[in-house]
Amino acid sequence: MWYLALAAGVSINAATETPPKWQVSPTEKSRVVATEGVATQPMSVKIVEPVVISPSIRDEMARVRDSLEDQKSRSDEINERRDRDTQRYTLYASISQAITSIVGMIGLFITIFVAVRAWREAQKTAIAAERGIHADTNPFLYLEFENGPSIRWRRGKFVPKTPLFRIINAGKGPAVVTRIGRRWEIRDLEPRKTFKYPDPVNPNSDNMHPYPAFLPIAPGDSSKGLDAFAELIDAKKVNSNSWIMCYGYIEFMDLENRRYVSGFFHLYRMDKPERGMHLGFPEWNFEKYNYQHEVTDPRISKHAH
C-alpha cells in the first residue's frame, strides 16, 4: 500500500526537519525508502496500475444488465400471470362446485317430488281399488211405504189402514239397521211465496231421538212392515192446502263394521191425493233429504252398540 508508506515518510521528515532522500523509478515495481538519522525497516511497496475499461466492455456490461433486468421483468410478469390464472381457476372451480351443488339439489327435489307424486298416485289407486271392492260388497238401503199410492187422508187419519214402511236393501252386501230417525211435518202450500220445507234431520243432533234397532237385511231383500207412527200427525192442522211430510234417516252398518246413513223424504199432498204417499224431491237442499254416505262420527257409532 504505497500511500501508507508515503504518509509515514512525510511524518518522519517533518519530525527531523531533514528532507527525505528517495527516488522511485518508473520502470521498477518496488523501491526501499530510507531517511537519514532514523533507523527504519525496509518496506515493500507494490504499485498497481489502474484498470482501464474499454467502451466495448462497457456496452457489453450494459447489455448484460439490461438482459438481466428484462429477464427479471419477464419473470415478474410470468409470476403475476400465474397468480391471476390461479385465482381465475380457483374462481371457476368454486363456481363449478356451486353449480354442481345446485344441480344436485334440484335433482334431489325432483326425485322427492316424483317419489311423493308416485306415492300419492299409488295411494289413490289403492283407495280406488278399495272403493271398487267395497262397491261390490256395499249395502244400499232406502225406505218405501207399503201400498203408498193407495194411501188416502180421511177424517183426520190415513186410510185404509195405518201406514207401514219397509226398508229395502238394493246393494250387494248385507246390512244391519241400527237406528231409525223419522219425523212428521205439516206445511200449507198457500200462500206459495211463504211456503218452506222443514229443516233436514241431522243424525248428529242431540235433539233427535231416534229409535234403536237391530234389523239385518240381506242383499236384494227387505224388512217387514214397520210402523210409521202416523198417529203423531196433528190432524187439526191438516186442510185442503196441506202437505204431509215424513222424513228422516236410516243408520246401518255392513259386515266390516263400516257405518252408513241414508236419508229419505216422503210426501202426501192434500191437493193431489191420487198420488198417495210418494217419494218427495224438495226444490232446494235436495241432497240433505235424500242421500247415502259413510259416516265416522263417534256420536253415531256409540248408538249402534
Tell me what pLDDT residue 166 has: 94
Residue 56 has pLDDT above 90, yes or no: no
- Within-domain flag for 63: no
Residues 158 and 221 in one domain: yes
**Nearest CA-CA partner of 184 in 240, 136, 228:** 228
Residues 2 and 119 in one domain: no
pLDDT of 193-203, one tens digit each? 677 888 888 77
Tell me what pLDDT residue 14 has: 46
Residues 88 and 237 in one domain: no
Tell me what pLDDT residue 169 has: 96
Residue owning grid cell 222424513: 247
Q: Contact at 8 Å (CB) between 173 and 137? A: yes
Q: Contact at 8 Å (CB) between 157 and 149? A: no
Residues 290 and 163 in one domain: yes
- Within-domain flag for 25: yes
Residue 2 has pLDDT above 70, yes or no: no
Q: Give the integer Cα–Cα distance in Å for 135 and 210.
A: 28
Tell me what pLDDT residue 140 has: 93
Residues 114 and 244 in one domain: no
- For residue 161 the three cell numbers come to 189402514
Q: Contact at 8 Å (CB) between 228 and 165? A: yes
Percent of the chain with pLDDT over 90: 29
Give residue 288's Cα distance to chain centre. Answer: 37
Residues 88 and 225 in one domain: no
Q: Give the integer Cα–Cα distance in Å for 262 and 274.
A: 27
- Within-domain flag for 217: yes
* Total structural domains within the chain: 3
Phi, psi angle pair for 49, to nearest 5°: -70, 140
Alpha helix (H) residue ranges in the chain? 2-16, 55-137, 298-301
Residues 42 and 170 in one domain: no
Residues 285 and 173 in one domain: yes
Q: Domain of 131?
A: 68-137
Residues 259 and 154 in one domain: yes
Give pTM, 2 decimals: 0.55
Residues 45 and 161 in one domain: no
